Each structure stands twice: as structure tokens, then as C-alpha cells.
């Protein structure tokens, strides 16, 4: 078995708690809570269904693989060992680019909306709006640039703030319901429908994936063989609770139709914080600031791991120049890749601002869909790679194993892959399955833009990534020496 050469200058500093906190910081997504809650009462039903039907087998797969193959680069190494450098390079391209797209799209739009509404007016498309978004993006990038032994505390603080904020909001919503009645729950419809399922499945899959992300820093973990499975299990349980309880809380307080993807969480907070009387305004301002900071640390957590994956691909000969895979000798971070992510996020932010002509809600929805699409498409190679590693490399010690051995692993992989296929199709071609099932679907009403605009933006992004990823591989392949930069 051949794996990429180890990276010099790395220090092992990630303990079990750090891995768990990084998973929570990356996976618990404030930006999708409102999007999920907009699905109404059945959103609670589908959150619970996918927690059992998708999150559980998904966590089992990555707990075993992450402990057995803990090399720096995580999913890049797994696909590389299973299928070769070209599939690994293309997969990592999609996995990596999701994060600058997400940072420069939905995260920064959501943070700006909260800041504009509750802290300081920014306007839409103004100099203040652009300035806020640029500061947000580059603050997240700089957090990823600092050494991991320091940067991990920023993401850990963000994870703690996120969990505490969600717990405080949920408790406040319960208190609001006790005082005013749980009108939202009384009017919500929890019975699952095909329409609700197809609308929610890509968002829920996006919300639940990513627990393997800390493995991108595998060579910086103290004891990955024993810590990764436990960290994934704990962070997965926390994530399920952090989606299920706040979504139920939002629905209990907000009247049907009031919750939106862009303003969902803060809109609901504005409503339930009314129980605090004259303290409502200051508390909302504090909540908005913490909300923006939590979004920022969420983006930086993903940058920390995704930039390491893409840097490993570059260092291994899979992305343009090996210089992009250089880790700073003192910081131990891929600074050049971090800066490339910042430039990409900035470019995507500007593009999204012009996409919907100042309509922040439409831009948020479309850009979030692009991020969902690119991330889910990356798993189309990652999941089969896990199964290939299980079948072809049984000699590798596995400190943790999926129940029922190879048979259990295979069933879990097939189940997860079926979910990923479905989510990828629905994210890439929304409304097509509804049409096939005879379900009415008004595209512009749902997305705020025409189907032509949506598909042009989405498919062009996917096509461009394939071209860039292939060009990055070919450019290095032409110059590469056989066997250079690898070890057996």
C-alpha cells in the first residue's frame, strides 16, 4: 500500500476533546437550521429519520476508516489508495472548493443579514456590506493560517458558543411556549410527505456529513486510532441534538410560513426573546454578534481541514504545483492553500452578490445549493473508497470495527451511498423528481431565480471544477517523476 509522503514540520497537538470539538464546530451549521425549519413540522420527522437511517451508518463507516487510516489528508489518502491519484485529486477538488464557496456564500450572507438587522445597518450591496463580508472571509482564513495548536482553541470556543447559544435559544423558546402556548407546534404537520422529503433531503445530508473532516489533520492527532471513533460518536450525537431540538423550538414559536432559510434562526430569536421585556434588544444584539462569530469559526474549522486535504493533493502531484502543498515550517499550516481559499471565497462572494441583483435571500439559497452539490458529489468517490479499503486491505489493523464485520460495513456503505446519490441528484436538478412523481413545483417561487439561471450557475460551477481539477492533475503529471514524493 502506497500513501503520500509524510509532511515535515507537523506537531501532534489534537487530543480526543479537540477532535470532537472540531467536528462539532464544522458540522453543526447555523446556516442550515433555518433552511431545515422552513420545511415545517415534518422537518422534525425527517431530521430524526435521517439521524438513524443515514447519520448512524455514516458515522460507523468513518469511525472505522479514520482509525485504521489516520494519515494527514484523510479522504484524499483514502481515495488515492483505493482508486489512484486522479480520482483522489478530483474528489478532493470538490470537497475543498465547497468550503470557500460556502464561506463566501451562505455563511457570509447569513452573518451579514444578522449584523444588518440586529447590530449595525449595512444595507445591501453598499460599501459597508462589502467591507463586512471581506472582513468576515479573511478573519476565517487567518484563523486557519495560525498554528493548529493555537487555532484549535478558536474553533473549540466557536463550538462551545454554538452549543450554548442553541441550548439557550431552545430553553427560551420553551419558556415562550409555556407563557403564550405552543401555537407553532399545534399548527405544524409532522406527517412526512414526498414533497417535504425531496425538499429537505439534500440540506439534511449536508447538515450531517463532515465528521471525517478532522482526519485531514491525522498526523497532528496524538492517538487517532483510539480517539477518532469516540470523537465521531460523541460529536455525531451532539450534532443530531443540535439540529432536532432547535428546529422543534423554532417551529413551536414561529407561525407557519414565517421561518425562512436566510433569517430563520434570528427571526425566531427575535420572537421568543420577547419574554425578556426591555432586555430583548440588547440580548438580540449579543445573540447576533455570537451568531456571526459562530458562523466565522464554523467556516474556519472547515478551512483548517479542507485546505490540508487540498495541500496534500498538491504535494502528492495532484493539483498544479507542489508549492501549493507546502506547509509553513513554523506554523505547520498550508499557508498558500489558505490564501487561495480566501481568494476563491472572495470571488464567489462577489459573484453571488451580482447573481441575484441584491436579493440576499435568493443568493443565499442558490449558493447554499451549490455548496451542498459540490460536497455531496465528493462523497460519490469517498464512500466506495472506504469499502474498497475494507475489502482490499484487511491486513491493516482496525482498532474499531463496524458491527458484523465486512458484511455490516458493506450494508452501511451501500445505504449511505444510496442517500448520497439521491441527495446529489435533488441538489443538482431540483424539481425533476417532483415532476416525475406528478408533484407541482414552482421553481422561481422556491429559489427566487429562474431554472435557467440556477442550472447555469450550478452546472457551470461543477463543470469548471472538473476542468480545473483535471488541469491541475495533468499539469503535475506531465512534469512528475515516476514514484516521486511517495513512500511505500
459 vs 186, higher pLDDT: 459
CA distance 309 to 384: 18
In this prediction, residues 420-427 reach a mean pLDDT of 93
Give kind and range of the element (H or E) at residue 209: none
Centre a 10 Å sphere on the Cβ of residue 361 and count the other Cβ atoms it contains. Answer: 16
122 within 8 A of 132, measured Cβ to Cβ: yes
pLDDT at 402: 93
Predicted TM-score (pTM) of the model is 0.85
- Mean pLDDT of all residues in 324-331: 86
How many Å apart are CA 45 and CA 199, to the nearest integer? 13
Residue 485 has a pLDDT of 47
pLDDT 10s digits, 257-307: 565 555 567 777 888 888 888 898 898 898 888 888 888 888 888 888 899
Q: What is the pLDDT of residues 109-138, one digit of tens each?
A: 888 888 988 898 888 778 898 999 999 999
Q: What is the pLDDT of residues 11-46, one digit of tens each?
A: 888 889 988 988 888 888 776 777 787 777 888 899
Stretch 233-243: mean pLDDT, rounded?
A: 88
Q: Is the dihedral of CA 414, 417, 423, 428 positive or negative?
A: negative
The predicted model gives 385-394 an average pLDDT of: 94
Percent of the chain with pLDDT over 70: 91
Q: What angle do CA 283, 287, 291 make, to 5 degrees?
A: 175
Higher-pLDDT residue of 96, 260: 96
Q: Output the pLDDT for position 378.
A: 92
pLDDT score for 488:
39
* Burial letters 145-155, b for 16+ CB under 10 A, else e: bbbbeebbebb
81: pLDDT confidence band, cut at 50, 70 and 90?
A: very high
Residues in the chain, overall count: 488
> Would you state the pLDDT for residue 105?
75
Handedness of CA 20, 368, 64, 389 (dihedral sign): negative
Say if residue 256's pLDDT is above 70: no
Instruction: Give me the residues paired with residue 3 across strands.
Output: 487
169-225 pLDDT, tens digit per residue, is: 888 888 888 887 777 666 667 788 888 888 889 889 988 998 888 888 888 898 988
How many Å apart are CA 351 and CA 292, to the nearest integer?
A: 21
| Rounded Cα distance, 467 and 36, in Å | 33
pLDDT, residue 480, reads 61
What whole-number distance in Å separates Cα of residue 308 and Cα of residue 300? 12
Amino acid at each position: 500500500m502506497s500513501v503520500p509522503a509524510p509532511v515535515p514540520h507537523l506537531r501532534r497537538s489534537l487530543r480526543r476533546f479537540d477532535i470532537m470539538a472540531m467536528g462539532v464546530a464544522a458540522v453543526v451549521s447555523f446556516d442550515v437550521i433555518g433552511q431545515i425549519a422552513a420545511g415545517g413540522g415534518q422537518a422534525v420527522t425527517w431530521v430524526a429519520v435521517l439521524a438513524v437511517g443515514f447519520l448512524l451508518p455514516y458515522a460507523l463507516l468513518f469511525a472505522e476508516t479514520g482509525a485504521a487510516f489516520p494519515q494527514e489528508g484523510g479522504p484524499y489518502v483514502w481515495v488515492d489508495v483505493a482508486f489512484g491519484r486522479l480520482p483522489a485529486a478530483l474528489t478532493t477538488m470538490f470537497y475543498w472548493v465547497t468550503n470557500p464557496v460556502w464561506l463566501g456564500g451562505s455563511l457570509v450572507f447569513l452573518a451579514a443579514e444578522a449584523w444588518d438587522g440586529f447590530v449595525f445597518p449595512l444595507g445591501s450591496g453598499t460599501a459597508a456590506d462589502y467591507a463586512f463580508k471581506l472582513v468576515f472571509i479573511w478573519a476565517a482564513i487567518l484563523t486557519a493560517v495560525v498554528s493548529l495548536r493555537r487555532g484549535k482553541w478558536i474553533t473549540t470556543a466557536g463550538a462551545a458558543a454554538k452549543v450554548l447559544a442553541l441550548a439557550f435559544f431552545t430553553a427560551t423558546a420553551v419558556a415562550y411556549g409555556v407563557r403564550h402556548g405552543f401555537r407553532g407546534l399545534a399548527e405544524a404537520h409532522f406527517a412526512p410527505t414526498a414533497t417535504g422529503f425531496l425538499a429537505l433531503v439534500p440540506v439534511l445530508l449536508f447538515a450531517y456529513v463532515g465528521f471525517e473532516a478532522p482526519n485531514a489533520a491525522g498526523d497532528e492527532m496524538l492517538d487517532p486510532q483510539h480517539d477518532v471513533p469516540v470523537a465521531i460518536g460523541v460529536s455525531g450525537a451532539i450534532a443530531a441534538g443540535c439540529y432536532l431540538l432547535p428546529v422543534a423550538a423554532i417551529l413551536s414559536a414561529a407561525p407557519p410560513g414565517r421561518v425562512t432559510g436566510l433569517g430563520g434562526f434570528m427571526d425566531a430569536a427575535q420572537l421568543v426573546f420577547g419574554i425578556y421585556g426591555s432586555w430583548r434588544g440588547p440580548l438580540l444584539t449579543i445573540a447576533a454578534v455570537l451568531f456571526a462569530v459562530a458562523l466565522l469559526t464554523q467556516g474556519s474549522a472547515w478551512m483548517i481541514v479542507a485546505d490540508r486535504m487540498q495541500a496534500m493533493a498538491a504535494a502528492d502531484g495532484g493539483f498544479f504545483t507542489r508549492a501549493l502543498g507546502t506547509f509553513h515550517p513554523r506554523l505547520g499550516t498550508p499557508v498558500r492553500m489558505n490564501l487561495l481559499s480566501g481568494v476563491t471565497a472572495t470571488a464567489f462572494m462577489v459573484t453571488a452578490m451580482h447573481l441575484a441583483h441584491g436579493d440576499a435571500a435568493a443568493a443565499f439559497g442558490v449558493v447554499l445549493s451549490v455548496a451542498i452539490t459540490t460536497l455531496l458529489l465528493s462523497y460519490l468517490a469517498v464512500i466506495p473508497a472506504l469499502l474498497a479499503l475494507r475489502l482490499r486491505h484487511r491486513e491493516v489493523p482496525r482498532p474499531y470495527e463496524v458491527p458484523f464485520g465486512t458484511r455490516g460495513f458493506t450494508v452501511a456503505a451501500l445505504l449511505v451511498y444510496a442517500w448520497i446519490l439521491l441527495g446529489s441528484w435533488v441538489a443538482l436538478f431540483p424539481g425533476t423528481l417532483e415532476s416525475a412523481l406528478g408533484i407541482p413545483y414552482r421553481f422561481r417561487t422556491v429559489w427566487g431565480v429562474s431554472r435557467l439561471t440556477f442550472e447555469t450557475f450550478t452546472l457551470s460551477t461543477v463543470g469548471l471544477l472538473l476542468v480545473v481539477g483535471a488541469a491541475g492533475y495533468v499539469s503535475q503529471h506531465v512534469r512528475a517523476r515516476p514514484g516521486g514524493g511517495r513512500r511505500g
